[in-house]
Chains A and B, each alone.
Chain A
């Protein structure tokens, strides 16, 4: 039961951060995808930089509840491409459309509606997709740690520093 409450509270914080940082804003998302406004890139690089370090430090103490998604190359790759097109067309992703809808943005409500339809269409197509795109070239839930064969913290530290350096020192705020 307490897991449900923790989930709700973490979600509240997540939604609040997305709203306050302008991540639910079309101009930020499309500005990033048009490679003009680096706001979202910097936000994500910082989040991943801190998150990688945090998770692998937890892992050192055996405290990380990881959930690594399986690497089935065709499905993940093609899914990413389809997702990317939807991202650029709508200006939202599945998380930000929920928060933007809560803000009262009507276009975001249409994205939420579309998202329910897209998930439903996927469930109809699943039997065909599973045998073709998911079960083939499936390498399971592997991480760079498994791939490279040494403790993930040695990958996490330089990777985090690189991302944070990119966000704080390398990228400009805007490119014209």
Chain B
């Protein structure tokens, strides 16, 4: 049987833990969700500068002189480039089940509609970032980096995020009783 992975969770987990340690030694831990705000703020300052300055949250990022595009933003750009290049080079080795924009698990449960899948992906994205900004971080910043620093807030985030996600996944894939 073909392996259904390119690298195992063991290799990936150890590599990610070492990368986090390296990042903490050199600059600061990993984080992603803040950068969506930074990007929004950069655009807002371009398109509607008065609005951006009047907004208590956006005005913290994306200043005219200093866009706030720093270590964190470059990190997310790197994720896009690194992930994209890896995908180009290793596409052949990627397991069939991990390919494509229509997951077979989704398809079996919710049908073939691409619009339905994309709307769920969009709506999920809205909730992801609203929740992440409210909580102050996401899977990388709170769960991986935060729990590794033994941060109290990150343990709370880990429990509530995993709890809600597990309940929601079971609700979405509940089996109908005849």
Contacts and interface: CB of A to CB of B under 8 A. Distances in A.
Interface residues of B, number: 125
Given A84-B164, A89-B124, A50 B133 contact: no
Nearest to B16: A47
Given A50-B17, A63-B25, A122-B129, A143 B149 contact: yes
**Consensus secondary structure, chain B interface:** helix
A83 B173 CA distance: 18
Contacts of A79: 130-136, 157, 160
26 contacts: A3-B27, A10-B23, A10-B27, A15-B84, A16-B83, A19-B82, A26-B106, A33-B165, A52-B148, A68-B153, A72-B153, A76-B157, A79-B132, A79-B135, A82-B130, A89-B120, A94-B32, A94-B132, A97-B128, A98-B79, A106-B118, A107-B101, A111-B122, A124-B55, A126-B57, A168-B10
A: interface residue count bin = 35 or more
Contacts, number: 520
Interface string B131-145: 111111111111111
A105 B22 CA distance: 30
Interface of B: 4-33, 36-37, 39-41, 55-58, 70-87, 90, 95, 97-98, 100-106, 114, 117-170, 172-173
Contact of A51 (B114, B141, B148): B148
B128 A115 contact: yes
Interface in A16-45: 16-28, 30-31, 33-35, 39-40, 42-45
